[in-house]
Amino acid sequence: MRKRLAAVLMTLALSTLTVACLGKVKYPTYYTLNLPPAPDPPAPAGTLPTVAVRGFHSAEYLRQGAIVYRPAPEQVGFYSYQRWAVNPSEFVTRAMIDHLRASGKFAEVVLYDGRADVDLVLTGRLEKLDEIDYQGGVKAEVAISAQMTDLHSGKMVWTGDASQIEKVDKRTVGGVVAGMSSAVDGAIQKLLASLAVPDTTSGLSRSIR
């Protein structure tokens, strides 16, 4: 009888412990960048080129899915339970397409799918999307580079890069992501501000710089 009672008590204890442990399971929290919508494009004027945007690449450490922080210039850390809901490089690709359409400099802007019926192809890379935790305070740093190629001649007709650092006042992961969003928007606008596109497709290689 005592052995049976002891077994029952042990079973109850293990069950209680299991429930307690299950109650402490921690699940990831997912975040996404959030940019203001691109403005409506102006009315087209003249004959404009068409452009296709390839999916942006990113540094290897940004492809892990976790939000990145840097406690020192030479150190990269990853949040264990704070992750990206959308691949940041895919998000930047879509944002770039939206901003190119809004610029009014192109007759058509599409995601590149191997098509040969466009004039230009833009490729890019998300170089940085980091929380910076050194040099005082918390900041969000973003760096983007891109280049444009004349699909007909195969010549590179433009290249550029831009970076943006935003101070993070609210020291939470959500606050950092908001700072990153603002920095991405600023970097894209800086990058595209340097992009000069001709009114026609007749002199792409010498007209874009």
Is residue 12 domain-resident? no
Q: Which residues form the domain of 61?
A: 28-207
Model confidence pLDDT, tens digit, residues 109-135: 999 988 778 999 999 999 999 999 998
Cα Rg of the chain (Å, integer): 24
pLDDT in the model for residue 205: 40
Question: Which residue, 66, 201, 73, is CA-closest to 133?
Answer: 73
Name which residue leads in pLDDT, 141 or 22: 141
Model confidence pLDDT, tens digit, residues 55-74: 999 989 999 999 999 999 99
The total of structural domains in the chain comes to 1
- Mean pLDDT calculated for residue range 46-54: 89
- Tell me how long the chain is: 209
Question: Which residue, 157, 160, 156, 177, is CA-closest to 168?
Answer: 177
* Residues near 18 by beta carbon (within 8 Å), at least 6 away in sequence: none
**Which CATH number fits the domain that encloses residue 193?**
3.40.50.10610
pLDDT in the model for residue 46: 65
Is residue 80 domain-resident? yes
Name the pairing type of β-strands 75-84 and 139-150: unpaired
Taking each helix axis from N to C terminus, what angle separates 173-193 and 88-103, rounded to the nearest 10 degrees? 40
Instruction: Please provide the average confidence, as pLDDT, over all residues in the chain.
Output: 84
Determine the Cα–Cα distance for residues 4 and 23; give it in Å rounded to an integer. Answer: 29
Name which residue leads in pLDDT, 90 or 199: 90
In angstroms, how far is the first alpha carbon of the chain from the final one?
A: 91
Model confidence pLDDT, tens digit, residues 143-184: 999 999 998 888 999 999 999 999 998 889 999 999 999 999
Is residue 1 domain-resident? no
pLDDT in the model for residue 8: 39
Is residue 189 domain-resident? yes
Using an 8 Å Cβ cutoff, are 120 and 52 in contact? yes
pTM: 0.80
Name which residue leads in pLDDT, 43 or 39: 39
pLDDT in the model for residue 112: 94
Is residue 21 domain-resident? no
Determine the Cα–Cα distance for residues 147 and 139; give it in Å rounded to an integer. Answer: 27
Question: What percent of the chain has pLDDT above 70?
Answer: 81
Is residue 10 domain-resident? no
Residue located via tokens 């992009």? 195
Residue 79: exposure state from Cβ atoms within 10 A (0-12, 13-18, ≥19): middle
Is residue 173 domain-resident? yes
